[in-house]
Chain A
Amino acid sequence: MRIYLDHNATTPVRSEVADAMDRVLREVHGNPSSTHSEGSAAREALETARSRVALLLGTRPDRVLFTAGATEANNTALLGLLRRREQAPGHVVSTQVEHPSVEAALQVLESTGWRVTRLPVDSDGVVALTALADALCDDTALVSVLWANNETGVLQDLEAWSAIVREHGALLHVDATQGIGKLPIDLGSLSIDLLSLSAHKFNGPKGVGCLVVDPELGFEPILHGGPQEKGRRGGTENLAGIVGLGVACDLADKELDQRSLRYSMLRDRLWEGIRTRIDGVKRNGSTAALLPNTLNVEFEDTAGEVLLQALDLEGVAASAGAACHSGSIEPSHVLTAMGRTPESARGSLRLSVGFGTDEEQIDFVLDRLCELVPRVREAEGA
């Protein structure tokens, strides 16, 4: 038996999604850009998916720009927007706890003359709103923020951010990758100019996502090519993937309320068990608003890497901070930014529930943790 508690890394594809993709792969072979019947069938599938994404987010379909996932969406948002020919280098505000696909793009901007302010977080992982307001300058062109942190599940208050940034007049980009499909979001009532998401974080396929962006907002494409996506992203569309994303959005739209209730119930059961049955544990981000499915726990005097391997042998998949290359587990930059020591960060484990998780699995994982944590402490401690 395998128990998968790593839904923040990626999620299983729902069968409704796989079925829809299978149908497209077998039956819809036209190019959406072609004018013949095969082409228009493909175009229809593409636009249906676009509408489904828009419906989930509360936005207009013409604002949905399909990409190969959130990394491309984040790169497009930051580099595409700010490297427009008429745009002189100015100032960008972001945070110290961004996903690497934003942080790396910020570094590219810095190398081309942009100034970047990375706002710190408190011990719960939350950026102070006063710090955001103070950081905004006359030449701040863009604010980019991770809505829900992938490692801790800590949320930044989007309503407050959008109000502050709108008042200042800068653009706001939200990396919403972890939040979509777990929490509701209504772009109709928030002033968000750009938003990135990825299908595989909410039971869609890997390699597809989108950037939500106003078509009037001019930017340099990252991928130069044909006229697809209104000339903003060249290359024949990943139609099956996009259809899969559409179905995943449709499922999320229908199930959202019950999903977040169920996820938080399972997550709380896990934390209650850990807190009451194992000594020397701390929850990271404990008092902040959190994603319903994510639990980040420090097991004092353990190495998360070792605990992770031992759990895997017992049939449980979890994560120590962010996924990383074999052997080079660096202490998480997110936990370090929250003031944790490298030792405490290394002893932290991320457990994220999702589709398919049930109470029985949670109880099994609790039993395994109760056995393994003392074993790891005894063998690897000191």
Chain B
Amino acid sequence: MSDAERSERVVVAMSGGVDSSVAAALMVEAGYEVIGVTLNLAGGASRCCSLEDADDARRVAERLGIRFYVANYRERFDTEVKQAFADAYLAGRTPIPCVTCNSRFKFEYLLDRAKVFGAGSVVSGHYARIDTDPISKRRRLLRAADPQKDQTYFLFELTQQQLQALWFPLGDMKKSEVREYARRLGLATAEKPESQEICFVPDGDYAAAVERIRPDRLPGPGEIRDTHGRRLGTHAGIHRFTVGQRRGLGIGGGDKRYVTEIDADRNLVIVGDRQAVMAKGARLERVNWISGETPDAPVRASVRVRYRHEGAAATIEPDGLGGAVVRFNEPVSAVSPGQAVVFDVGEEVLGGGWIVGSFR
């Protein structure tokens, strides 16, 4: 077969779940030479990206008659995602490791692997859309057609170069359509449950995960104080808290109290009333503008301050140093350092950045 007759080769990131299985099937149906790749990230212990999931993905690949490989990134995942996750908690932040996992592992590393394989694109089962701006010819990241499933919050670090080589074939589909498609094809993963938000903490006990990952760096007990510096009680480690948290403070009392600040240097958890947890704005670092160009004037957009946040109207002022200041039109609660803020205008995602702190 000559090169001209050979169909274009693409790599599909197959997690072993239903979404990426369908993404692979759609590419096969469209006539591409599909190579399935599963990332082995967290090893056997976790729900996602484990070898059992690799086995599921392999079965789907066999069913589709495509080549399949496992890409082993466990060591990099340990240092770049898991340890970074634990260290963020120990520094008083509330990390969102899925963003790094997506932008670095699922896209940067997988695009590297695709190059080795002679494949032009990486395809994934993310619920997001990519199109080309008719005027600037730049790629745009758009929210998914199914708002319940939209995953663009995790994708704000994508670059123009990456968007050129990425495809999200599920961006226009509803989850129910995806499952229906998987059933029709008889894919083994059709009825698989949704995966957890953080794959290496399947039980949702983040504090225990931090203690497991960094047993030698735990801060130990410290004081809980109110916003006036009065001592209210003790805590068993700052990594057990997140800004905006109300339950499990262990200080009793009638007033509703929220964590307003975590001071890692002094090993303090500061609590206050509902008013004290409302922020007028946030300072961001490592801001990515998907267009590839930092705007030279403030930008009005809807901002999401955590995954599944419906968005709040705000103005974003780039600080000229790769960061930005976000001013909300109305105060927003629980703006936690370590989380990401993503900027949207309509269905388009302009970019996002990492919360360093908030202000009232």
Interface residues, chain A, CB within 8 Å of chain B? 305-306, 309-310, 312-313, 325-329, 372, 375-376, 378-380
A372, B72: Cβ atoms closer than 8 Å: no
Cβ contacts B107-130/A at 8 Å (1 or 0 each): 000001101111000000000000
Interface residues in B53-109 (C-beta closer than 8 Å to A): 54-55, 58, 67, 69-72
CA distance A372 to B118 in the complex (A): 10
Residues of A within 8 A of B48 (CB): none
Residues of B within 8 A of A327 (CB): 38, 40, 51, 54, 70, 72
Residues of B within 8 A of A376 (CB): 116
Can you name the residue of chain B whose Cβ is closest to the Cβ of A303? B72
Q: CB of B35 within 8 A of chain A?
A: yes
CA distance A378 to B115 in the complex (A): 10
Q: A306's contact among B38, B58, B67, B116, by CB below 8 Å, is which?
A: B116
CA distance A312 to B117 in the complex (A): 10
Residues of A within 8 A of B55 (CB): 326
Residues of B within 8 A of A325 (CB): 51
Provide 9 A-B residue pairs closer than 8 Å at the C-beta atoms, listed in order of the A residue. A309-B116, A310-B116, A310-B118, A313-B35, A327-B54, A327-B70, A328-B40, A372-B116, A379-B113
Q: B117's contact among A305, A309, A328, A378, by CB below 8 Å, is which?
A: A309
Residues of B within 8 A of A309 (CB): 69, 116-117
B112, A379: Cβ atoms closer than 8 Å: yes
Interface residues in B111-165 (C-beta closer than 8 Å to A): 112-113, 115-118
Can you name the residue of chain B whose Cβ is closest to the Cβ of A313? B117
Can you name the residue of chain B whose Cβ is closest to the Cβ of A310? B116
A328, B72: Cβ atoms closer than 8 Å: yes
Interface of A is mostly: helix
CA distance A286 to B118 in the complex (A): 32
A326, B51: Cβ atoms closer than 8 Å: yes
Interface residues, chain B, CB within 8 Å of chain A? 35, 38, 40, 51, 54-55, 58, 67, 69-72, 112-113, 115-118
Can you name the residue of chain A whose Cβ is closest to the Cβ of B9? A313
5 closest cross-chain pairs (CB), A and B: A327-B40, A327-B70, A379-B112, A309-B69, A326-B70
CA distance A372 to B113 in the complex (A): 12
CA distance A141 to B54 in the complex (A): 45
Nearest CB of chain B from residue A208's CB, rounded to whole Å: 28
A305, B72: Cβ atoms closer than 8 Å: yes
A326, B35: Cβ atoms closer than 8 Å: no
B70, A313: Cβ atoms closer than 8 Å: no
B117, A310: Cβ atoms closer than 8 Å: yes
Nearest CB of chain A from residue B252's CB, rounded to whole Å: 49
11 other A-B residue contacts (CB within 8 Å) besides A306-B116, A327-B40: A309-B69, A309-B116, A310-B117, A326-B55, A326-B58, A327-B70, A379-B112, A379-B113, A379-B116, A380-B113, A380-B116
- The A/B interface has a contact count, at CB < 8 Å, of 45
B116, A329: Cβ atoms closer than 8 Å: no
Residues of B within 8 A of A306 (CB): 71, 113, 116
Q: B54's contact among A312, A326, A372, by CB below 8 Å, is which?
A: A326
Residues of B within 8 A of A329 (CB): 72
A375, B116: Cβ atoms closer than 8 Å: yes
Residues of A within 8 A of B67 (CB): 312-313
Nearest CB of chain A from residue B102's CB, rounded to whole Å: 19
CA distance A136 to B254 in the complex (A): 78
CA distance A326 to B55 in the complex (A): 9
Residues of B within 8 A of A379 (CB): 112-113, 115-116
CA distance A375 to B112 in the complex (A): 10
Nearest CB of chain B from residue A377's CB, rounded to whole Å: 10
Residues of A within 8 A of B116 (CB): 306, 309-310, 372, 375-376, 379-380
Residues of B within 8 A of A305 (CB): 72
CA distance A379 to B55 in the complex (A): 26
Nearest CB of chain B from residue A299's CB, rounded to whole Å: 13
Residues of A within 8 A of B35 (CB): 313
Can you name the residue of chain B whose Cβ is closest to the Cβ of A379? B112
Nearest CB of chain A from residue B80's CB, rounded to whole Å: 14
CA distance A309 to B35 in the complex (A): 11
Residues of B within 8 A of A380 (CB): 112-113, 116
CA distance A325 to B40 in the complex (A): 12
CA distance A325 to B116 in the complex (A): 22
Residues of B within 8 A of A312 (CB): 67, 69
CA distance A310 to B67 in the complex (A): 11
Can you name the residue of chain A whose Cβ is closest to the Cβ of B112? A379
Nearest CB of chain B from residue A45's CB, rounded to whole Å: 37
CA distance A356 to B347 in the complex (A): 59
Can you name the residue of chain A whose Cβ is closest to the Cβ of B114? A379
Nearest CB of chain B from residue A89's CB, rounded to whole Å: 35
Can you name the residue of chain B whose Cβ is closest to the Cβ of A381? B112
CA distance A88 to B204 in the complex (A): 53
Can you name the residue of chain A whose Cβ is closest to the Cβ of B67? A313
Do A313 and B72 contact each other (CB < 8 Å), given the known contacts A327-B54, A379-B112, A379-B113?
no
Residues of A within 8 A of B51 (CB): 325-328
CA distance A378 to B40 in the complex (A): 22
Nearest CB of chain A from residue B109's CB, rounded to whole Å: 9
CA distance A380 to B58 in the complex (A): 23
Most chain B C-beta atoms within 10 Å of own C-beta, residue among A327, A372, A379: A327
Most chain A C-beta atoms within 10 Å of own C-beta, residue among B35, B38, B58, B72: B72
Can you name the residue of chain A whose Cβ is closest to the Cβ of B72? A327
Residues of A within 8 A of B58 (CB): 326
Nearest CB of chain A from residue B233's CB, rounded to whole Å: 46
Nearest CB of chain A from residue B47's CB, rounded to whole Å: 16
Residues of A within 8 A of B118 (CB): 310, 313
Can you name the residue of chain A whose Cβ is closest to the Cβ of B111? A379
CA distance A309 to B71 in the complex (A): 9
Residues of A within 8 A of B117 (CB): 309-310, 313
Nearest CB of chain A from residue B54's CB, rounded to whole Å: 6
CA distance A326 to B70 in the complex (A): 6
CA distance A329 to B73 in the complex (A): 11
Residues of A within 8 A of B71 (CB): 306
CA distance A310 to B117 in the complex (A): 5
Residues of A within 8 A of B70 (CB): 326-327
B115, A375: Cβ atoms closer than 8 Å: yes
Can you name the residue of chain A whose Cβ is closest to the Cβ of B44? A328
Nearest CB of chain A from residue B164's CB, rounded to whole Å: 17
Most chain B C-beta atoms within 10 Å of own C-beta, residue among A313, A325, A378, A380: A313
Nearest CB of chain A from residue B23's CB, rounded to whole Å: 20
Can you name the residue of chain A whose Cβ is closest to the Cβ of B57? A326
